Each structure stands twice: as structure tokens, then as C-alpha cells.
């Protein structure tokens, strides 16, 4: 929707040198990008930064900083270039945008005024000047700057929205010019609510529902607003429409059930309703900039999203939603220290405080500050009795392979659940089960994994972990095969699950049948030493000795585990037969025990 903004900024050359992020967020849990060497706000101060003592050097250093999302240094270096070429309009426009993105609003406004005084017609220049006027609550002046924006592009989208708030500041409801897209419709509702003109809201919502750009999230927001103004029948219709598109949406099902039971107060997301209460028109404008930033972030236009989030924070420095978005932008671009700084600016009186602290701890661990991360989470547990934070401590220790400490943290979390484990904490069983397995305590691990599977019977990774554990023990191979086949059907491109399927077939003696699955696993994960080792074993048992040795050699080259490396060296010298005979003897004993104790 707002791709035109990012396009306009780039086409104007204002963000030339900045790449818009195309990184995909991790959807399995929370966003968790990998760590690279660029983790600090100084971009590790490369030699180029140190040598930037000439206009050309400053320019190149600024381009480097931009490319690495180091907005503060990029702004500083470009300001030095302007000092040597003060009349260059293109440099001024770029410096203006960089200053705003770096949070240096006074510098951005000064550059905008200087450009405006030359008579150049530029949408972003006028928008920045309007922003300054909104900040001073000079609404007439803000409208003047908005009117000065050239028609087309940004002006067509942003002018009706911001002018609506400017008119609302003087008590006028002027929302007729807002197009029928969800963002404008939502702000038309906010403006109507701000002015106490609730009678106009149903008409706005009906217009929003007819918009071709409305999505499920927007529909839910419409339904919530209907509930808030007492239009429960209309809310039922909206929630029912959502369920027709997404019948498994448990949240919407719960809202609809609450409405049908007459429990209006729990049928709605109260945070969404509280968001309708705008203190003054300036805060409404800040929310408009924030909403635009969110859309740009969703389109992976991170540079533009950063600029608009900074504009929102200029108008409302207490807007922690903007700080959280800034942190998300920094995280996606692997600027972890910047993200930590934004999260830590959120005070303990904010509803987002606990979540911000947990995300801070995660980022600290990613940059090697695990002890600090654990301390931060322990403080949160002590202050808020936050079970999720206690579980996160265990997760951090488990990722560091400190399994004894992880187990202690998970046991503490279990102790905080006085009435047993509710469904929302099913993953605690899974996490402790994996930890116990790594500690060699299989019977206890098996109990936790089966408990987790009881909560989530269709979870492919629990099925795989439990089934692979049985296969490694050489026990319950038929149930293991059943679980892993089901997991593989659900996740056909997962290398670990493909390996598990091949390995349980191998353990059952079906070597030829195991090979295609193990080959697929190696294709999906060619550098995993355990998977290469498994394929080598299967090749050996089917007489493909040269291929087996090749896989074992690959596994040894990739292995960082001393025990596995030693086993692979022995295989490369004497083959598999001795190890296989030992394994078969162990399996025979285990199976005898199963038969005696079914």
C-alpha cells in the first residue's frame, strides 16, 4: 500500500546508497535473525571510517554507513561533505533524510528550511516542515506546508490523513476526503471518536468493509470498534465473516462466543479500544506516522519505515509502540545494540515492559552477553513472577549447551505453576524433555516428551524428537516409525526429520529402504556430520563401501564433536562391522526387555 513512499524516497535519490531490506522474518517463534560481525551502532568502525578526513572520504564512509544501516554515522559523515559543498541540493536532501532517520530532528528541519528557501518543490521537504509545525501545534502552518506538497505520490495519500487531524485540532470533522482504504478509515474513526461524533463511525466502518485492500487484521479491528460503540450485531457479522475465511481462528471464535453469551466486555481486544482514545490532535498525527511506518515495515521498506517511526517519536516521545517498531527494524538489519537501546528505553510502567525485557535478553544472548541476559530475566522473574522469563532462562542455557543449568531453570518454572501445567505452557515439557535427553536421562525425557505430545498431538517436531529418541535407544521402533512418518508427511523438506525417518528404518534393519530418506536428508543438510554419518552407515550395510567411506570422511571434516570424530576415524580404518555388532547386541537386549515388560 505504501510502497509509493519508499519508491518516492528512492526515486528522488534521497536514500541513494541505502538498500531496502529483503530479509525474511523467522516465523517459527519470534523474529530471530542470525548474528553477523555488524552488531554495533558504529558498524565495527572499519578502516574506511578512520580514513574519512576528506570530502571524498567522508562521502564514501557515509555510503558505507548507510549500506550497513548505521544512520548516525551516515548522517555525520554526509554533514561533513556538505560543509565542503554547502550549495549542493542533492546532498542536502539526502542529509535531511539521514538526519531524520538518525533522530536528529533539529538538523533535519534546518536542512528542510534551507531547501525550501531555494524555491524547490519537494514533497518530503514540505512534509518535514509540516511535522515541525505539528510538533509546535501550529496546525494552520502545518496545513500550509501540506498544501505546498506537489500533487501525486506521497501527497495524495498523506495529505487527507494529516489534514483531517489538523482540522480536528480546531474542532472540525472533515473526513470526507479520506479514501476508502483501511488506514484512512481507521483514522476517520479515531478522528470521529476524538471529536465525540460517534454517529459517523458506523458509516465509516461500512465504507472500510467495502475496501478491496482490507485484510483479516483490519476486519478484526472493525469488529472490535463495533463492539466498543455498542453495535454488537454488526460486530457479530464481521467476526462471522472472518471465520468464514479462517475457520481455525481461535481468537475470533472466542470473541464471537463471548458476544453470543452477552459478555461484551471480554469479547473485544481492550488494547485496541484503548487505542481509540487520542489525547490531542498532535498524538493523532503521531499515530498516523506510526501506522504508515508499520505498513512500510511489513513491506520490508525498512529505511522508509525508520524515517516515519522517527517522525512519530518526534511528535510523541512516549510512544513506546514506535520504539518497539524501531527495535524490530534494527533487529531485522542485525543492528542488535541499537535494538537493545530502544527496548531498554521502555519503562516498567508500560504494558510492553516485560516483553521488551525478554526481547532485550534474547538480543543480548545473540551478541554473546548471555550472563547479562540471564541477570535481566532473573530481575524480571523476581519483579513480575514472569514464568515466560523463567522458561527463557532455561532456553538461553540450553542453546549454550549448559544443560544442567537449563534443567534447573526449567524445574524452577515447573515449580511456579502451582496447579499443574496449563495448555499455554505445554512447551515447557518439550524444552525440559530435550534437555533431559541431552543429559542422558532418557526415561525422564521420554515422560516429558510424551506429556508435550499429549498437549500437541499433531506437532511434527515433538513427534520427531520422541521417535528419534526411541530409535537411538533401539526401542519401540514400530511406534517410532509411525510418529516419524507422520512428521515427515507434515514437514517434507525438513532435513532432520528426513534423517530420523531413514535412521529408524536403519535401526529396524531395513537398510536399502533407509537410504533414499538419508540421501534426501544429506541433500537438504549437506554439512551436518551426524546425517552424513548415518548415510555412510547405510551405504556400508548395503555393500556400497566407497560411498560409505566418502560420507564418513565428509562427516569427520564437518564434525566438532570429539566422540563422533573418534568413531568416524575408527570406521574409516576398520569399517562398520564391529560397531554394528555391538549395536545389534544392545538392541537385542533392549527388545528382550520390552517383551518382558510390555
Q: What is the pLDDT of residues 346-405, one digit of tens each?
A: 999 888 999 999 999 999 999 999 999 999 999 999 999 999 999 999 999 999 999 999
pLDDT value for 19: 40
pLDDT at 517: 98
267 has a pLDDT exceeding 80 = no
pLDDT score recorded for residue 234: 85
- Which of 594, 587, 597, 589 is closest to 472 using CA atoms? 587
pTM: 0.78
Give the pLDDT score at 4: 44
* Burial label, 481 (beta-carbon count in 10 A; 0-12, 13-18, 19+): buried
Q: How confident is the model at residue 545 (pLDDT cuts 50, 70, 90)?
A: very high
CB 500 within 8 A of CB 492: no
Residue 121 in 3-state DSSP? coil
What b/e sequence results for 145-163 when a residue is b if at least 16 CB atoms lie within 10 Å of its CB, and e otherwise? bbebbeeebbbebbbbbbb
For residue 302, CA distances in Å to 24, 90, 295, 323, 492 come to 12, 22, 10, 14, 33
Neighbours of 231 (CB within 10 A): 18
Q: Which residue has the cell 532473573?
A: 378
Does 30 have pLDDT greater than 60?
A: no
- Give me the pLDDT at residue 279, please: 85
Instruction: Return the C-alpha cell found at 124.
Output: 518530503
Q: Say how far apart CA 121 and CA 127 lie, in whole Å.
A: 11
Indicate whether 575 pLDDT > 70: yes
> CB-based burial of residue 179 (10 Å sphere; 0-12 exposed, 13-18 middle, 19+ buried)?
middle
Convert the pLDDT of each residue in 249-259 to its tens digit: 888 888 888 88
Closest to 413 measured CA to CA, from 433, 439, 435, 432:
432
- pLDDT-based confidence at 595, cuts 50/70/90? very low
Percent of the chain at pLDDT > 70 equals 84
pLDDT digits (tens, 9 = 90+) for 323-361: 999 999 999 999 999 999 999 999 998 889 999 999 999
Distance between CA 536 and CA 557 in Å, rounded?
A: 14
Domains of the chain: residue spans and CATH? 349-457 (1.25.40.10), 462-598 (1.25.40.10)
Q: Using 50, 70 and 90 to split pLDDT, how confident is the model at 201?
A: confident
Amino acid at each position: 500500500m505504501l510502497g509509493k513512499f519508499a519508491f518516492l524516497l528512492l526515486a528522488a535519490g534521497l536514500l541513494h546508497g541505502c538498500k531496502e531490506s529483503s530479509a525474511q522474518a523467522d516465523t517459527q517463534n519470534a523474529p530471530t535473525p542470525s548474528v553477523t560481525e555488524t552488531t554495533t551502532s558504529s558498524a565495527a568502525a572499519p578502516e574506511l571510517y578512520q580514513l574519512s578526513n576528506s570530502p571524498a572520504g567522508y562521502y564514501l564512509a557515509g555510503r558505507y554507513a548507510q549500506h550497513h544501516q548505521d544512520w548516525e554515522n551516515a548522517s555525520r559523515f554526509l554533514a561533513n561533505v556538505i560543509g565542503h559543498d554547502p550549495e549542493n541540493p542533492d546532498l542536502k536532501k539526502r542529509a535531511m533524510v539521514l538526519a531524520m532517520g538518525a533522530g536528529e530532528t533539529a538538523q533535519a528541519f534546518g536542512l528542510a528550511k534551507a531547501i525550501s528557501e531555494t524555491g524547490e518543490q519537494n514533497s518530503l521537504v514540505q512534509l518535514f516542515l509540516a511535522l515541525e509545525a505539528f510538533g509546535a501545534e501550529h496546525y494552520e502552518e502545518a496545513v500550509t506546508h501540506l498544501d505546498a506538497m506537489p500533487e501525486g505520490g506521497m501527497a495524495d495519500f498523506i495529505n487527507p490523513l494529516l489534514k483531517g487531524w489538523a482540522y480536528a485540532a480546531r474542532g472540525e470533522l472533515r473526513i470526507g476526503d479520506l479514501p476508502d482504504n483501511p488506514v484512512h478509515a481507521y483514522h476517520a474513526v479515531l478522528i470521529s471518536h476524538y471529536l465525540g461524533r460517534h454517529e459517523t463511525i458506523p458509516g465509516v466502518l461500512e465504507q472500510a468493509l467495502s475496501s478491496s485492500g482490507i485484510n483479516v487484521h483490519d476486519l478484526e479491528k472493525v469488529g472490535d470498534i463495533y463492539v466498543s460503540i455498542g453495535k454488537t450485531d454488526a460486530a457479530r457479522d464481521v467476526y462471522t465473516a472472518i471465520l468464514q475465511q479462517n475457520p481455525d481462528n481461535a481468537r475470533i471464535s472466542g470473541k464471537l462466543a463471548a458476544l453470543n453469551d452477552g459478555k461484551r466486555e471480554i469479547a473485544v481486544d481492550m488494547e485496541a479500544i484503548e487505542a481509540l482514545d487520542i489525547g490531542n490532535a498532535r498524538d493523532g498525527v503521531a499515530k498516523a506516522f506510526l501506522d504508515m511506518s508499520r505498513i512500510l515495515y511489513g513491506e520490508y521498506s525498512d529505511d522508509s519505515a525508520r524515517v516515519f517511526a522517527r517522525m512519530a517519536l518526534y511528535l510523541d516521545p512516549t510512544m513506546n509502540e514506535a520504539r518497539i517498531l524501531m527495535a524490530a527494524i534494527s533487529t531485522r538489519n542485525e543492528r542488535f545494540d541499537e535494538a537493545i537501546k530502544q527496548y531498554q528505553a521502555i519503562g516498567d510502567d508500560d504494558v510492553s515492559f516485560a516483553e521488551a525485557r525478554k526481547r532485550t535478553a534474547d538480543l543480548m544472548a545473540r551478541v554473546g552477553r548471555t550472563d547479562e541476559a540471564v541477570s535481566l530475566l532473573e530481575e524480571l522473574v523476581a519483579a513480575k513472577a514472569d514464568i515466560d522469563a523463567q522458561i527463557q532462562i532455561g532456553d538461553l542455557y540450553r542453546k549454550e549447551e549448559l544443560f544442567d543449568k537449563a534443567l534447573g531453570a526449567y524445574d524452577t518454572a515447573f515449580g511456579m505453576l502451582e496447579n499443574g501445567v496449563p495448555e499455554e505452557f505445554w512447551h515447557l515439557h518439550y524444552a525440559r524433555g530435550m534437555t533431559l535427553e541431552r543429559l542422558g536421562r532418557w526415561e525422564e525425557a521420554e515422560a516429558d516428551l510424551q506429556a508435550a505430545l499429549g498437549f500437541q498431538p499433531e506437532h511434527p517436531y515433538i513427534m520427531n524428537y520422541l521417535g528419534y529418541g526411541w530409535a537411538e535407544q533401539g526401542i519401540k521402533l514400530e511406534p517410532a516409525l509411525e510418529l516419524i512418518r507422520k512428521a515427515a508427511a507434515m514437514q517434507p523438506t525438513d532435513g532432520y526429520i528426513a534423517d530420523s525417518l531413514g535412521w529408524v528404518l536403519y535401526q529396524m534393519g531395513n537398510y536399502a529402504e533407509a537410504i533414499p530418506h538419508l540421501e534426501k536428508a544429506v541433500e537438504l543438510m549437506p554439512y551436518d556430520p551426524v546425517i552424513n554419518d548415518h548415510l555412510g552407515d547405510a551405504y556400508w550395510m548395503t555393500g556400497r563401501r566407497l560411498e560409505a567411506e566418502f560420507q564418513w570422511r565428509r562427516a569427520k571434516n564437518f564434525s566438532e564433536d570429539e566422540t563422533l570424530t573418534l568413531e568416524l576415524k575408527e570406521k574409516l580404518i576398520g569399517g562398520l562391522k564391529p560397531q554394528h555388532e555391538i549395536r545389534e547386541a544392545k538392541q537385542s537386549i533392549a527388545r528382550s526387555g520390552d517383551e518382558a515388560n510390555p
